[in-house]
Amino acid sequence: MRDAGESNLKLENFLCFAIYSTANALTRAYQPRLAALNLTYPQYLVMVVLWEQKNQAVKSIGEKLGLDSGTLTPLLKRLEIAGLITRTRDRSDERQVLIGLTDAGEAMREKAESVPLAMGKAFGCSMGEAKTLRAELMELRQKLIASIDDAK
C-alpha cells in the first residue's frame, strides 16, 4: 500500500482545485466592485456581452458565456426587472428572444468602466501577463471540452 506522500490523491497536486479555488476567490473579489452597480457576477458578464454588441438573441449570449437557457433566462428576467435590459420576441422567428439594453443599461456602462481597472490592480500583474494567462486558460478550457467528447 502506498503512503499518503506518494498518492495521486493529494489536494496540493490537483490543478483542478487550484483553478476552482482561484475562480471562487475571483468571484469574491468582484463582489464589492459590482455591488456599486447592483449586479451579480453573472449579470455583469451578460451586461458586458451586451455592451459589446446590442440586441442579441438569448442563444447567442448563452453560447458566449457558456450558459444554458435554464440558467440564463432567470438571470435575464432579473436584469429586465431592474430596468437594464429589454426582452422581445424576434418578429421573424417567434421562438427566439432578443435582448437589448435600456437607456439605464447603456448608461451603466460608464460606471462599469472602473471594474476592469480595479480588478487589474487586484491581479497584481501586467496587462501582458494577464493576456498570456488568459490565453493559457482558454487553451486549457478547449482541451477539457475536447476531452469530454472523448470520454463519452
Q: Rounded distance, CA 86 to CA 79, Å? A: 8
The ranges assigned to domains in the chain are 12-108, 113-152
d(CA 35, CA 69): 25
Contact 48, 54 (CB under 8 A): no
Best CA proximity match to 112, nearest among 62, 60, 64, 43 = 43
pLDDT in tens, 93-144: 878 899 999 999 999 999 999 999 899 999 998 889 999 999 999 999 999 9
Instruction: Identify the CATH class of 12-108.
Output: mainly alpha
Q: Kindly state the cell numbers that stand for 29.
A: 473579489
Q: Give me the pLDDT at residue 69, please.
A: 87
C-alpha to C-alpha distance for 130 and 121, rounded to whole angstroms: 11
The predicted pLDDT at position 151 comes to 76
For the chain, what is the mean pLDDT? 92
pLDDT bracket for residue 150 (50, 70, 90): confident
pLDDT of residue 149: 76
Q: What whole-number distance in Å separates Cα of residue 19 and Cα of residue 55? A: 33
Q: Which position has the higher pLDDT, 92 or 62? A: 62
Q: In the structure grid, which three cell numbers stand for residue 11, read together?
A: 489536494
Q: Residue 1 pLDDT more than 90?
A: no
Q: How far apart are CA 129 and CA 97, in angstroms?
A: 38
Rounded CA-CA distance 69/61 in Å is: 9
More confident residue, 4 or 77: 77
Structure confidence at residue 81 (pLDDT): 97
Cβ atoms of residues 30 and 115 within 8 Å:
yes
DSSP lists the bridge partners of residue 56 as 99
Above 90 in pLDDT, residue 8? no
pTM: 0.86
- Residue among 88, 58, 92, 56 nearest 73 (CA): 58
